[in-house]
Chain A
Amino acid sequence: MTVLQIVFLVTGFVTLLAGVMVVASPKLVHAALWLIVSLAGVAVLFVLLNANFLAVVQVVVYIGAIAILIIFAVMLTRRVMADTGPTHNPSWWLALISALVLLGGLLALILQVPAFAQAGPTAQPAADSGLSDLGTALVDVNRFLLPFEVASVLLLAALIGAMAIARPADAAEEGGE
């Protein structure tokens, strides 16, 4: 067993454990914190996969923005949920079974393909893990400019939409839609 493998296994185990704690934790704040751990584990995995830029983006965006946002939301909706009632709905067992069956199916699919079991990656990526290439690709008209711009528009729409929806109730229009 190589070092990388051990690193991978440890990181993977941590990520999974954190993920399980996210879904099983009775207190939501704890769940949010465990989420952060899980996201960090994924960032490490990105590094292992030579996607350095993405690892950083993962930390900055997911942990730095989304997780914080989730914690805000937990805080803001806390009053009612102050540890009353069960955290899982009555038919959680059905959900468990479905998830397990799904897992089984996915694993069967994955193990079916012999190409996936090959030992290592095929070729070495570029030294800077293609960062300049990534940047160029994103603004190149012939390549990924359009998705990039569309994503920007999506973010703009989400921004405006979120603001409109979350407006206080005494505004003339309810942000119901």
Chain B
Amino acid sequence: MIPLSWYLILSALLFCVGAFGVLARRNAVGILMGIELMLNAVNLNLVAFWRYLTPGLIAGQVFTLIVFAVAASEASVGLALIISIYRRRSTVVVDEINLMKW
């Protein structure tokens, strides 16, 4: 059988890959892709815990569903923002979007 720790390790790995993407990518859309990876890792984690520890409680799946909804809304709003910034500044390189610099 597959121990729970394998799923958790996998999701941890996925999460860290996504974190690296978020921190290192120059393109804003690339960062968003990294965020999607991280969210997926979280979902995986949630479902794994549901399946192994409390399969009778449906709350695990409901949680995951809610995460889906949140991810979707966040992706849409984020992409809308990127497009809006692209329209104004003709760039999506986050290093160049530094108006908040001192």
Contacts and interface: CB of A to CB of B under 8 A. Distances in A.
Contacts, number: 263
A28 B14 CA distance: 19
Chain B interface extent, by class: 35 or more
A106 B16 contact: yes
B20 A23 contact: yes
A12 B40 CA distance: 13
A89 B8 contact: no
A72 B25 CA distance: 18
Interface string B69-88: 11111111101111110111
Contact of B24 (A46, A66, A88): A88
Interface of B: 1-10, 12-21, 23-30, 32-34, 36-37, 40, 43-44, 47-48, 50-53, 55-56, 58-59, 61-62, 64-66, 68-77, 79-84, 86-88, 90-95
Interface of A: 2, 4-5, 8, 12, 15-16, 19-20, 22-23, 28, 31-32, 35, 38-39, 42, 45-46, 48-51, 53-54, 57-58, 61-62, 65-67, 69-70, 72-74, 76-77, 79-81, 85-89, 92, 94-96, 98-100, 102-103, 106-107, 110-111, 115-125, 130, 133-134, 137-138, 144, 147-148, 151-152, 154-155, 157-159, 161-163, 165-169, 175-176
